[in-house]
Structure 1
Amino acid sequence: MPHSEPHYEFGGPLGTAAITVGLPVLLYFFRFACNDVAGCPVPSLLSPSTLDWETLKGEIGWPQGGVWDLCSWQVMGVVLAYYLVSLVLWRILPANETLGTKLVHHGRPLKYRLNAFSSSLVQLAAVAIGTYYHGADFVVWTYMTDNYIQILTANVLIAYGISIFLYAYSFTVNTNYPNDDLRELAEGGDTGNVMYDFYIGRELNPRVTLPLIGEVDIKTWLEMRPGLTGWMLLDLAFVAQQYRNYGYVTDSILFVTAVQAYYVLDGQYNESHVLSMMDIITDGMGFMLTFGDIVWVPFLYSTQCRYLATYPLHLGWASIAAVSAVFTLGLYIFRASNTQKRVFRTNPQDPSVANLSYIQTKRGTRLLTAGWWGMSRHINYFGDWLQASPFSLPTGVAGYRVLAAGSAAATSSVFTTRDGREVVQGDARGWGMIFTYFYVLYFAILLVHRERRDDAMCAKKYGADWAQYKKTVRWRILPWVY
C-alpha cells in the first residue's frame, strides 16, 4: 500500500516531472550546441543579442526535415538489433550465477546471471575485426557518427517505452508477501503519486520472461550491458571520426578512450559488486535508472571524445603523466577503501583489519571507524570522483570554432581537416568547458546526493548508533572539506 506520508526526493512530483522531460532536452542541447558544423559552443550562443533562428539552424546542423528528422525507423531497427544482440550474448555465453542480497519481504535472495564482461569482449572483438579490414571507414563507426542524433532519439524513446512498461507491470506485483515469484515493491517508489513513482520506479527488481531468452532481470541487465558497452563503442566511433577528419589520432582522445574503457570493463569484470549497491537493493526500477543506464551514461559520458574528434588537442607526455597520476590516485583510493570494507565485513580477523576500531551496533553489525573509513564516511566516493575527473581534463581549456577553408589567420593553433575546414579556438576558448566538464560537476553532485540518501537510510537503520558513528567520523566524503 502507498505510504500515508511519502518522503519525496528530487523535488517531489514537480521535480521528477521536470527531470523526466528536461534530461533528454539537455542531451539534445549538448549535441546541437557543441558540434562539428560551427563550433563548441556555436557562434550565435556567444552573441545572444544577435541570435536569430535561421542563423542558429545552420550553425547547429538542424535537420532539413525539422523535428521529424531527429528520429528514423531504420535507425530504431538497428538500435533494437543491438539490444537483441546483447540479450542473445547474455543467454548463450557462460555466466557466473550469483545470489544477491536478501529481499526485505521474503528473506531470500534472487539469483543473477552475470557475464557482462565477456559480452563486451565479444562485441569489441567483432568491431576490432571490422576495423582491421576497413579502418576508420568501418561501417559501424561511420553509421554511429553519421546517425548520432537518430541513435540518441531511438534510445530516448526506448527508455520512455521501458519505463512506461515497468510502471504498468509493477501493478501485477502481489503485495501479500511473501509471494511465489519473489517480487517486491520498492519502498521509495510506492508513494501513490503517478509522476513520482514513474520516475523512481515502483518495483524493486522487475523480471520478464522472453521467448528463447528466458527470465531476464531488467535492472541489472540494463545497468551493466547496453549502455556501458555502447559508451565504449561511441568513444571508439569518435576516435575513428578524428582519424577521418585529420588523418591521425591524438594522445588526448586515446587517453580518454582508454581510461573510460578501463572504467567500464573493470565494472563489468566485477559485475557481482553491483548486487550490493543502492541501485539494486533499495531503488525501484523506473525512468531514473532506465534513462540513466541507456541514454545518460553513453551519450553524456562520451561528450569528451565527441569534442576531441573535432578539436584534436595534443597533450604531450608531461600532461599525459599528470592526468594519469590523477586517475591512478583516484583508482587507488577507490579500490583500497572498498577492499578494506569488504575484508572487514567478510573476514574481520584478517591482519589488515583486525586491529581497526569500530562501533558495535545494536543490530549486531559493526561500523568501521578507522583506516580509510576513519577519514570519512564515504572516502570511496572521493576516489570515484577523482578517477573520473581525467575523463574531462584532457580537453583542456575547451572551446573551438569551425571555419571555412582559408578563413583563419596563419597560426600553429589552427587544425585543418582533410576537407579544408579550419578549427580554431578563438573567442570560444573556455566556453566549451560547459560541455566537456559538465560530467565532472554532475558526478560530484550525484555522489553528494547519494551520500545524503545513504546517510538518511543508515540513520533509520542504525538509530542512535549512527549518530554516535557520525560524531566519531565527522567528514562525509572529503576530509576537512565536506
Structure 2
Amino acid sequence: MVSVTRSKSRSRTPQTPLEEPETPVRGRRSAATPKKEASKAVKKTTGDSKKPVKDHRIDDSGELEFGGVFGTSMVMLGFPLLMWYMWVGQAYYNSQLPLPEAGQSIVDFVKDLYVKATLCAFPSLKAWFVYWAFLAYQCVLYIVLPGVWAKGNPIPHRDNIRLDYFCNALWSFWVTVFTALGLHITGVFKITDLIDNFGEYMSVGIFSGIIVSFIAYYSALARGAEHRMTGYFIYDFFMGAELNPRIFGIVDLKMFFEVRLPWFLLFLISIGAAVKQYEIYGYVTPQVCFFLLAHWLYANACGKGEELIVTTWDMSHEKWGFMLIFWNMAGVPLTYCHGVLYLARHAPSEYQWSVGYNTFLFIMLLCAYYVFDTCNSQKNRFRQQERGTLLKRKAFPQLPWQTIENPTFIKCEAGTLLTSGWYGLARKVHYTADFFQMMSWGLICGFESPLPWFLPSFFMAMILHRAKRDTDRCAAKYGPAWEEYKRQVPYLFIPYVF
C-alpha cells in the first residue's frame, strides 16, 4: 500500500535557501561523471542476498514510445523532408503548400520539388561556417560569462547524486544579441542574411542535427555511458544513449542545446526580419514587432529561469538522442520561424490588421506568457523548496506569483504532487498557456498562408501526445496518489472547463 497524505510544505521549505549574489560570480565545478562500464550490459547481484539488481543500462520495460521502431523511423525521415517541403513553399509557391500542377505526375512533382530544394536550400560553405561559429561562440560564452549554480534532481543509478548545473544563459543571450548587431553594423555579417539565405542555414541545421546525433550515440557506446537501452537500434538512436553528457567539465550538453541554440537563433531570425523590413520600407510593421516580442519572451524566459530547467523531465529523464538534438538544432529554430518568414517575404499591405485586432493579439500573447512563466516557475521552485536548493534570482522580469508560499501537496513514497497555485486549478495548465502563445503567432499572420499555422497545429498534436506520456508515467509512478491528485484537481487543461 502507498500512503497518501496531504499537508502544508512549510515544514519542508529549507530554512536557508540558496541566494543568488547581487553580482553573479563565475565559477567552475567538475560534475561527477560515471565510471566507465562495460558496453555489454549484464545483471548484477548484491553480496549477501544475491538479489538481482536492475542494470540501469537495460530498458526491460517492454514499452516503446512514439510508435516504437516504425514511428521513430518515420519521424527521423519525415521531419527533415517536411522542413524542406515547407521552405520550397515559401520560396517558390508564394508561401503556399506545394502541390502537383494539373496533369503533373507524382514522380515528376517529387523531382521538381527536389530540384527546387537544391536551388533554394543547398548548404553553402558560408552557412556551415556561420552556423558552427555561432554554436562555438555559445559554448565559449557558457564557459566564460558569469552565472549561478543550481542542483538537478537525484540520479538513482548514480547513488542519487545531484549534478551541479552552471546557469548563465541570460548573460549569453544579451551578449549574443549585441554581438550580432555589432557584426551587422560593421558589415562583417549582415543579420538579414538569415532571411535572404534561410534555406542554406536550414539545411545546415538539418544535417548538423543528424551528424551530432550519430556522434552522441556512438560516443556514449564507446565510453560505456549508455542508459536504458532497448536493443532496437533505430529506437535507441532516436531516444538517445546517454543521460547526462558533458564536455569541458562545465557544459551540460542537454541544457546547452535546449536553452541557447534554438531560442537564441529564433530571436536572431526575427531581428533579421525586422532589419530587412526597415531597410526596404523604412519602418517595422506591428506584426513583425509582435514576433520580436514573442520570440524575445521565450528566449529571455529560458535565460532568466535557466536554474529551474535543471529539475525538469527533459534534464532528469530524457536521454540526449536524435529527438532532443535534432529538435533543438533544427526543428525549433528553423520551423517555429515560418510566421515571421511569411511576413518578411510579403508586402505589409497583405497583412494590415486593425489596431483593435493587433492590440487583442498582443494582450493575448502577454496573458498567455504570464500563465506559462508563473506556472513553470511555481512547479520548479516548489521542487527546489522541497530539496533545499531554492535559488532566488533577480533576473528580469520577476512576475507576481512565481513562488507559492506554504504550498499544499500530496505526499507518497514516490514523491510529491503539487496541488497549489496553477497546478491546483489544472494539471497541465502550462500546456494550455503555451498553446495560446503559439496560436497568437498564427493569428498575427492571418489566413492567406497555411505555413504560419504549421506551428499551432503541430504544437497541439505534440502537447496532446506529451500530456498522455506524462499522465501514463505519473499514474505508474505515483499509483493511488495520482488518483487522489486527479480527484483534487479534476481538470486537465482548462480550469473548470476541461
Q: Normalising to structure 2: TM-score of the pair? A: 0.77
Paired residue for 2:254? 219
Cα distance in 2 between the residues matched to 1:222 and 1:120: 13
Q: Secondary structure at the match of 1:392?
A: helix
Cα distance in 2 between the residues matched to 1:371 and 1:234: 35
Cα distance in 2 between the residues matched to 1:388 and 1:466: 29
Q: Secondary structure at the match of 1:276?
A: coil
Paired residue for 2:242? 203
The question of 1:233 aligning with 2:272 is answered no
Which of 186, 196, 218 lines up with 1:168 in the alignment?
Answer: 218
Which of 410, 419, 423 lines up with 1:359 in the alignment?
Answer: 410
Paired residue for 1:421? none
CA contact (8 A) 2:312 2:380 kept: no
> How do 1:470-481 residues align onto structure 2 when only pairs under 5 Å count?
470-479=486-495
The question of 1:381 aligning with 2:431 is answered yes
Cα distance in 1 between the residues matched to 2:95 and 2:457: 18
Cα distance in 2 between the residues matched to 1:57 and 1:21: 16
Deviation at 1:196, TM superposition (A): 0.2
CA contact (8 A) 1:239 1:305 kept: no
CA contact (8 A) 1:90 1:119 kept: yes
Q: Secondary structure at the match of 2:79?
A: helix
Which of 136, 148, 154 lines up with 2:198 in the alignment?
Answer: 148
One-letter identity of the residue aligned with 1:273: L
Paired residue for 1:438? 454
Paired residue for 1:460? 476
CA contact (8 A) 1:38 1:60 kept: no
Q: Secondary structure at the match of 1:117?
A: helix
Deviation at 1:57, TM superposition (A): 9.9
Deviation at 1:156, TM superposition (A): 1.3
Cα distance in 2 between the residues matched to 1:75 and 1:355: 51
Pair 1:272–1:343, CA change in 2 (3 A): closer
One-letter identity of the residue aligned with 1:359: I
Which of 58, 64, 78 lines up with 1:8 in the alignment?
Answer: 64
Paired residue for 1:406? none
Percent identical = 26
Paired residue for 2:304? 269
Deviations 1:83-127 (A, max 9, x none): 111111112211222221111112111122221221121121123
> How do 1:3-82 residues align onto structure 2 when only pairs under 5 Å count?
3-35=59-91, 37-41=92-96, 45=99, 48-51=101-104, 62=115, 66=118, 70-82=122-134
Paired residue for 1:191? 230
Which of 335, 358, 364 lines up with 1:326 in the alignment?
Answer: 364
One-letter identity of the residue aligned with 2:352: H
Q: Secondary structure at the match of 1:87?
A: helix
Pair 1:382–1:57, CA change in 2 (3 A): closer
One-letter identity of the residue aligned with 1:387: Q
Cα distance in 2 between the residues matched to 1:379 and 1:29: 33
Moved more, 148-157 or 372-381: 372-381
Deviation at 1:222, TM superposition (A): 0.9
> How do 1:292-311 residues align onto structure 2 when only pairs under 5 Å count?
292-311=327-346
Deviation at 1:28, TM superposition (A): 0.6
One-letter identity of the residue aligned with 2:488: T
Paired residue for 2:173? 120
CA contact (8 A) 1:159 1:295 kept: yes
Deviations 1:15-40 (A, max 9, x none): 101111111111111100123x5412
Cα distance in 2 between the residues matched to 1:101 and 1:221: 17
The question of 1:99 aligning with 2:151 is answered yes
Cα distance in 2 between the residues matched to 1:445 and 1:253: 26
Deviations 1:284-341 (A, max 9, x none): 1000000111101111111111000122222342122101221122123223434444
One-letter identity of the residue aligned with 2:244: N
Paired residue for 2:47? none
Cα distance in 2 between the residues matched to 1:91 and 1:359: 39
Deviation at 1:362, TM superposition (A): 3.8
One-letter identity of the residue aligned with 1:165: I
One-letter identity of the residue aligned with 1:140: K
CA contact (8 A) 1:382 1:477 kept: yes
Cα distance in 1 between the residues matched to 2:418 and 2:462: 24
Pair 1:58–1:368, CA change in 2 (3 A): closer
Deviation at 1:49, TM superposition (A): 2.9
Q: Secondary structure at the match of 2:149?
A: strand
Deviation at 1:145, TM superposition (A): 2.5
Deviations 1:407-466 (A, max 9, x none): xxxxxxxxxxxxxxxxxxxxxxxxx12x11111121122222222222222222211211
CA contact (8 A) 1:156 1:291 kept: yes
Deviation at 1:480, TM superposition (A): 5.4
Q: Secondary structure at the match of 1:395?
A: coil
Deviations 1:351-404 (A, max 9, x none): x967876433244x4433455323221112212222332222110122xxxxxx
Q: Which runs of 5+ in 2 are unaligned?
A: 1-40, 42-57, 387-400
Deviation at 1:233, TM superposition (A): 1.1
Cα distance in 2 between the residues matched to 1:298 and 1:234: 8
Cα distance in 2 between the residues matched to 1:480 and 1:55: 53
Which of 319, 325, 329 lines up with 1:290 in the alignment?
Answer: 325
Q: Secondary structure at the match of 2:375?
A: helix
Cα distance in 2 between the residues matched to 1:376 and 1:112: 30
Deviation at 1:347, TM superposition (A): 5.7
- Larger RCO: 1 or 2 (CA < 8 Å, sep 6+): 2
Deviations 1:215-258 (A, max 9, x none): 53211111111222111111112223333444432111111122
Paired residue for 2:137? 85
Cα distance in 1 between the residues matched to 2:316 and 2:460: 22
Deviation at 1:163, TM superposition (A): 0.6
CA contact (8 A) 1:100 1:110 kept: yes
Pair 1:229–1:353, CA change in 2 (3 A): closer
Number of aligned positions between the proteins: 423
Paired residue for 1:335? 373
Cα distance in 1 between the residues matched to 2:250 and 2:404: 40
CA contact (8 A) 2:308 2:380 kept: no
Q: Secondary structure at the match of 2:410?
A: strand
One-letter identity of the residue aligned with 2:149: E
The question of 1:158 aligning with 2:208 is answered yes
CA contact (8 A) 1:323 1:394 kept: yes
